[in-house]
Copies of this chain bind each other. A is one copy, B any other.
Amino acid sequence: MDKTLHSLADAVSVIPDGATIMIGGFGGSGAPIELIHALIDCRPRNLTVINNNAGNGHIGIAAMIEQDMVAKMVCSFPRSKDPRAFTERYLAGKIELEIVPQGTLAERIRAGGAGIPAFYTPTSFGTELAEGKPVEKFEGRSYVQERWLKADFALVKAERGDTHGNLTYNKAGRNFGPLMCMAAKNTIVQVSELTQPGAIDPETVITPGIFVNGVIEVQNPAQEEVLNLAEAVYP
């Protein structure tokens, strides 16, 4: 068994129009820029993208939006330093938004990966984000029922990986990565260093390979924040 992918283009070419894609990262931290840019080269359209944010500047998810590839964003915080790609299209009614509290977003993705179709959370109770959702009382307190979130694909950035798909992450770049790996039918991961099985201490594996379908080595990956400071634009 070898889950190695040999080119970024091959890695993302399987993603069709209309797909739902989870993309790792919190702002630029953990954003799989090379995978996203390879996807932009393929230009599938009408995508639903699940990410904490909604892109920043003119690269990464913001560039996907500028290329009119995204029909809907599911995120907690679609405002960034330079969110204009999303903002303009949202205010013009050209892109749909599902706003989800950040902890609920994380838990819904985990639930999708863990086979839990619904769960109750105190988060958003009594607010407009709970409208239309079932509410139930447990032990005297009210909770909102939330549903799992799954995706056709996940694009994730990790630090070290092996050919079985075992992964470690870099610092807070971990964020949504381990959850999204669990919740997508096809999880594609870019790693800064691809190793043979056994090279990663079993105690330190964060994402076990069972959650990963393909890994591709991208040495010295770009950092979204650095690209934006340099006012990079893609393509």
Copies in the complex: 2
Contacts of A168 in B (CB 8 A): 203
Dominant secondary structure of chain A at its interface with chain B: mixed
Judge if A147 is at the interface, Cβ distance under 8 Å: yes
Residues of A near any B CB (own CB < 8 A): 107, 111, 114-122, 136, 138-139, 141, 143, 147, 168-169, 171, 202-204
Contacts of A169 in B (CB 8 A): 203
Give the distance in Å from the alpha carbon of A119 to the alpha carbon of B120 in the complex.
6
Contacts of A171 in B (CB 8 A): 202-203
What is the minimal beta-carbon distance from A158 to any residue of chain B, in angstroms? 12
24 A-B residue contacts at CB 8 Å? A107-B114, A107-B116, A111-B119, A115-B121, A115-B122, A116-B119, A116-B120, A116-B121, A117-B120, A117-B138, A117-B141, A117-B143, A118-B119, A118-B120, A118-B136, A118-B138, A118-B143, A119-B119, A119-B120, A138-B147, A168-B203, A169-B203, A171-B202, A203-B204
What is the minimal beta-carbon distance from A224 to any residue of chain B, in angstroms? 21
The residue of chain B having its C-beta at the shortest distance from the C-beta of A170 within the complex is B203
